Amino acid sequence: MRLARHKYLCNWVLLVHSWDMPNLPAKPRSGIPVAAPAIPRFALYGEAQGAAPELLHIEDVHARSSQYQWEISPHLHQGLYQVLWVRSGTVSVVLDEQRQSLPGPVAIVVPPAVVHGFQFAPGTDGWVLTLSSRFLSDGDFQTVGAAFEAVFAAPRVLDMRDDAAGAGRLDALMRELGAEFAFAGAGQPPPTTAWLARALLWRLAQVQAALDPSAPGNAGHQRQAQFTRFLALVEAHFMAHWSVAQYAQRLGLSTPRLNRLVRAASGRTAQALVHERLTREACRRLLYVAAPANSLALELGFEDPAYFSRFFRRQTGLSPQKWRAAQRVES
């Protein structure tokens, strides 16, 4: 069991908590599906318990919705960000308490922990892009952080019927991203997928600023914006070993309130997210930097290499030296 856990943390697969998978909500005779008493929580919609999404995932609308008679029943994700792009056809959408039906081209933004459901007209053409919270920390966050925060501060429906040029640019990015992702098959997606996803977020941020210059102000949207800012702070300061209290102070929150906010969005504590980010960085360096573990410990902000070894063992089940040796054997 320990070995399985360290692979999730260190082979850069999103660590997703296992949920008891409830039955799918019953579908009504017509109209948008109604939510069951317990809102289903999925990795990707309808997938088996314990499925672990990649850093990013993209698929066309037909691939999943056609399996469910073009209806995706109301559900939510923790720690996953989604963009639904409808190029043509019609979609009826549920976003928490909001319900709306409109034709494409339209972009629908779904932050974590937002209840959402879709009913598509058969033959609707589009894409669903899913990003894990690790998208913020893998790669150059500075090139995408502001756009990420702006796009996912709240659930949104971006009607682009009056912006043919903007819709064309978004559609081209989605199609190229989908093609690059599909080209990798079962292998690791190429770096171009992350680059295209970042470009897509910048484009969405521009569209959003033009269509909806006033940010929504309800409490749920504010909490999502705070969680996104927390992830950005973690990326900037995790190697300085900030305490949770320091993150809370920077966000203007109490420590218990920050923990409640992070748990609601991700299913984990603030400390757990910080430790996961630090562990991923340690794994990267152990794998790609030919330096002793003691030297890497100092680079990662640990004053005592022995403490780094104990921390790493708690997180992965192996000492840094044994973890590194195991990767060499596997490769």
What tens digit of pLDDT does each residue of 253-301 get? 999 999 998 888 778 899 999 999 899 889 878 887 888 999 999 999 9
Are 24 and 168 found together in one domain?
Answer: yes
Residue 189: is its pLDDT beyond 90?
no
pTM of the predicted model as reported, rounded to 2 decimal places: 0.60
Which residue intervals of the chain are DSSP H helices? Answer: 2-10, 61-65, 145-151, 164-184, 191-211, 219-237, 244-251, 255-266, 270-288, 293-299, 305-316, 320-330
pLDDT of 323 reads 92
Which range of residues forms the domain containing residue 82?
A: 2-216
Are 262 and 280 found together in one domain?
Answer: yes
Are 208 and 63 found together in one domain?
Answer: yes
pLDDT of 265 reads 78
Give the whole-number percent of the chain exceeding pLDDT 90.
39
Buried b (16+ CB within 10 A) or exposed e, 203-226: bbbbbbeebeeeeeeeebbebbbb
Are 307 and 203 found together in one domain?
Answer: no
Q: What is the CATH number of the domain that holds 301?
A: 1.10.10.60
Residue 219: is its pLDDT beyond 70?
no
**Number of separate domains in the chain:** 2
Residue 13: is its pLDDT beyond 50?
no
Are 174 and 249 found together in one domain?
Answer: no
pLDDT of 138 reads 59
pLDDT of 184 reads 74
Write a three-state SS string for 178-207: HHHHHHHCCCCCCHHHHHHHHHHHHHHHHH
DSSP for 75-99, please give it: EB-SSEEEEEEEEESEEEEEETTEE
Domain boundary among 192, 216, 240: 216
Residue 66, both tokens:
């056609």
Domain boundary among 147, 181, 216: 216
Going from the C-alpha of 267 to that of each of 131, 175, 263, the distances in angstroms are 16, 32, 4
More confident site: 101 or 23: 101
Going from the C-alpha of 113 to that of each of 22, 27, 30, 57, 79, the distances in angstroms are 16, 22, 26, 18, 8
Q: For residue 116, give the H/E element and its range.
A: strand 116-120
Average pLDDT, rounded, for the chain: 78
* Most confidently modeled range among 8-22, 26-40, 266-280: 266-280
pLDDT of 75 reads 84
| Cα–Cα nearest to 194, from 215, 214, 179, 177 | 177
Are 100 and 228 found together in one domain?
Answer: no
Q: Is 9 helix (H, G, I), strand (E, B) or coil?
A: helix
Are 58 and 157 found together in one domain?
Answer: yes
The confidence band for 214, taking pLDDT boundaries of 50, 70 and 90, is low
Are 143 and 290 found together in one domain?
Answer: no
| Cα–Cα nearest to 141, from 213, 221, 233, 210 | 233
pLDDT tens per residue, range 148-187: 777 887 788 999 999 999 999 999 999 999 999 888 766 6
Q: What is the CATH number of the domain that holds 90?
A: 2.60.120.280
Each as own residue / partner, the long-range contacts of residues 235-242 (CB below 8 Å, 24 or more positions apart, any chain) are: 235/136, 235/137, 235/141, 235/145, 235/277, 236/141, 238/274, 238/277, 238/278, 238/281, 239/278, 239/281, 239/300, 239/301, 240/301, 241/278, 241/301, 241/302, 242/274
Q: Is 293 helix (H, G, I), strand (E, B) or coil?
A: helix
pLDDT of 33 reads 43
Are 209 and 194 found together in one domain?
Answer: yes
pLDDT of 139 reads 54
> Which residue is listed with tokens 């979609």?
91
Are 127 and 254 found together in one domain?
Answer: no
Are 12 and 63 found together in one domain?
Answer: yes
Domain boundary among 177, 196, 216: 216
Are 28 and 124 found together in one domain?
Answer: yes
Buried b (16+ CB within 10 A) or exposed e, 295-321: ebbeebebeebeebbebbbebbbbebe
Q: Residue 40: is the preceding peptide bond cis (ω within 30°)?
A: no
Identify the weakest region by mean pLDDT among 21-25, 195-199, 289-293: 21-25
pLDDT of 248 reads 94
Residue 207: is its pLDDT beyond 90?
no
pLDDT of 8 reads 40
